[in-house]
């Protein structure tokens, strides 16, 4: 190890600080996709890639790619540069800067038979769509989808935003099958597991699937002043009871890492002088084990049938979204773990990711792996999001060493 070049921690921290300088908001950033600070960040990365012997390009969906003509194996690495609105400085840029650092350390090294190629996937945070950049790269986005895409905050069409960024009419770059041995992405954990257990590195085993439902309650709309309580069919009350019943009954059936959440609730008509005749709730569950989700789906259906049989309202469940989990490659997991053993005293943990990441789409076209660093207090998607500088540097060293191991196998 001692004779090998390691990540330059000071350079990594300086790069992350430079990216925080575009669109600074308190101690975080406000960097929506194709905003001026986001485009400045894309240009910043484009200019850095030469330091890693990479040829830069920005494609027609805003993906920044650095490609190498060094012979040997090629490993693709990256993350994203835009942020949620008024959010943190590390969600995305950490993985891009680690990838850049790995390329700067390993690509000029003649002892490494191969190169790291760098990617910044556009719009991971979903201002215009759902993972548009990484999905475009794997060939999963049509021109029609881009035509229709609009900024969820101000309704600006994506075509207009691309034109503003000087990216209109550029071709989109798609995956070249067989070019890469795989894709590696680093990210902040966005949870508190690593911090709680005093660990430095999360070795991601899978990215959980997301299943989403609309649960519909049908009662009878009537006058709120003249309808006696005993004969009411109040869909709002049925919804509230069902919501509580889920929290009471799921724990006996769920897996150790299942999470579930109720989103928007609507009462129809939703006026205090009218008993709601219809109510709806959006409901989501996440797990990395489809068998667990199957069990919970059956329980949900059973609960709806029971509630309908007991009355006075009927309950129907509609599945809106079914997301298979993305499994991370075993060789990649082993390489991250071995690098952690060497550099971080083995303070690593294999764990699933409860959040979605670009790696879940890359994993459909090549082996993929992910590495987490601790998040202070588990906070993310907020401007206070942070990670200790020492942990950022350790993560960079583990990332570079993981890349070296994958390239020199």
CA neighbor of 334 nearest in space, from 284, 369, 366: 369
Nearer to Zn ion, 100 or 112 (CB): 100
Q: CA 101 to CA 52: how far, in whole Å? A: 8
Q: Give the binding-site size for Zn ion (rule: CB under 5 A).
A: 2
Note whether 123 binds Zn ion by CB under 5 A: no
| Residue 206: strand pairing partners | 327
Work out which of 23, 32, 62, 92 binds Zn ion, going by CB under 5 A: 92
The piece of 50-58, 86-94, 345-353, 380-388 that touches Zn ion (CB under 5 A) is: 86-94
Each residue 61-80 as x (binds Zn ion by CB under 5 A) or -, in order, gives --------------------
Nearest residue to Zn ion, scored by beta-carbon proximity: 91
Tally helices (H) and strands (E) across the chain.
Answer: 12, 17
Rounded to a whole number of angstroms, the minimum distance from the CB of residue 373 to Zn ion is 13
The distance between the two most distant Cα atoms of the chain, rounded to a whole number of Å, is: 85
C-alpha to C-alpha distances, 260 to 188, 212, 250, nearest whole angstrom: 22, 10, 9
Give the interface segment with Zn ion, choosing from 65-73, 87-95, 110-118, 241-249 (CB under 5 A).
87-95
208 within 8 A of 354, measured Cβ to Cβ: yes
Task: Tell the smallest beta-carbon distance from residue 355 to Zn ion (Å).
Answer: 7
Sheet with strand 259-268: strands edge to edge: 259-268, 278-287, 209-218, 314-322
Which range of residues in 13-21, 89-97, 256-264, 282-290 is near Zn ion by CB under 5 A? 89-97
CB of 360 to Zn ion, least distance (A): 12
- At closest approach, how far in Å is the CB of 60 from Zn ion? 22
- Name the minimum Å distance from CB 129 to Zn ion: 15
Q: Considering the rule CB under 5 A, would residue 202 count as an interface residue with Zn ion? A: no
SS3 405: helix
Q: Answer yes or no whether residue 91 interacts with Zn ion by CB under 5 A.
A: yes
Alpha carbon separation from 226 to 50, 274, 278 (Å, rounded): 76, 10, 19
92: left (phi over 0), alpha (psi -120 to 50) or beta: left
Minimum gap (Å) between residue 190 Cβ and Zn ion: 8
Piece in contact with Zn ion (CB under 5 A), picked from 88-96, 163-171, 361-369, 378-386:
88-96
**CA-CA-CA-CA torsion sign (241, 243, 244, 249):** positive
Q: How far is the CB of 92 from Zn ion (least distance, A)?
A: 5
Comparing CB distances to Zn ion, the nearer of 20 and 70 is 20
Interface ranges with Zn ion (CB under 5 A):
91-92
């Amino acid at each position: 190890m001692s004779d090998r070049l390691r990540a330059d921690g000071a350079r990594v921290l300086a790069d992350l600080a430079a990216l925080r300088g575009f669109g600074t908001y308190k101690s975080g950033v406000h960097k929506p996709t194709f905003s001026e600070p986001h485009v400045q960040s894309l240009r910043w990365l484009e200019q850095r890639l030469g330091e890693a012997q990479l040829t830069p390009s920005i494609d027609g969906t805003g993906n920044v790619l650095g490609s190498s003509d060094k012979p040997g194996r090629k490993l693709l690495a990256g993350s994203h540069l835009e942020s949620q609105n008024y959010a943190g400085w590390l969600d995305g840029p950490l993985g891009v800067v680690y990838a850049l650092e790995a390329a700067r350390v390993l690509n000029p090294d003649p002892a490494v038979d191969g190169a790291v190629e760098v990617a910044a996937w556009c719009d991971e945070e979903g201002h215009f769509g759902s993972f548009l950049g990484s999905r475009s790269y794997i060939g999963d986005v049509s021109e029609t989808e881009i035509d229709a895409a609009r900024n969820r905050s101000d309704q600006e069409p994506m075509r207009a935003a691309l034109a503003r960024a000087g990216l209109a009419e550029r071709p989109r770059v798609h995956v070249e099958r067989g070019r890469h041995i795989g894709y590696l992405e680093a990210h902040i954990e966005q949870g508190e597991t690593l911090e709680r257990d005093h660990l430095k590195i999360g070795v991601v085993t899978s990215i959980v699937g997301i299943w989403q439902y609309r649960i519909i309650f049908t009662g009878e709309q009537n006058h709120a002043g003249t309808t006696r309580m005993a004969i009411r069919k109040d869909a709002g009350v049925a919804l509230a009871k069902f919501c509580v019943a889920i929290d009471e009954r799921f724990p006996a059936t769920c897996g150790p890492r299942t999470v579930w959440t109720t989103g928007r609730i609507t009462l129809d008509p939703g006026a205090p002088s009218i008993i709601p005749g219809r109510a709806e709730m959006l409901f989501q569950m996440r797990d990395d084990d489809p068998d667990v989700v199957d069990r919970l789906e059956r329980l949900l259906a059973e609960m709806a049938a029971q509630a309908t049989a007991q009355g006075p309202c009927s309950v129907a469940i509609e599945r809106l979204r079914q997301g298979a989990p993305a499994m991370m490659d075993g060789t990649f997991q082993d390489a991250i773990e071995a690098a952690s053993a060497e550099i971080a005293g083995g303070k690593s943990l294999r764990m699933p990711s409860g959040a979605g990441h670009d790696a879940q789409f890359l994993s459909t076209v090549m082996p993929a792996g992910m590495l987490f660093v601790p998040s202070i207090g588990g906070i993310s998607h907020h401007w206070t999001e942070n990670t200790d500088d020492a942990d950022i540097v350790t993560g960079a060293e583990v990332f570079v060493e993981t890349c070296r191991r994958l390239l020199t196998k």
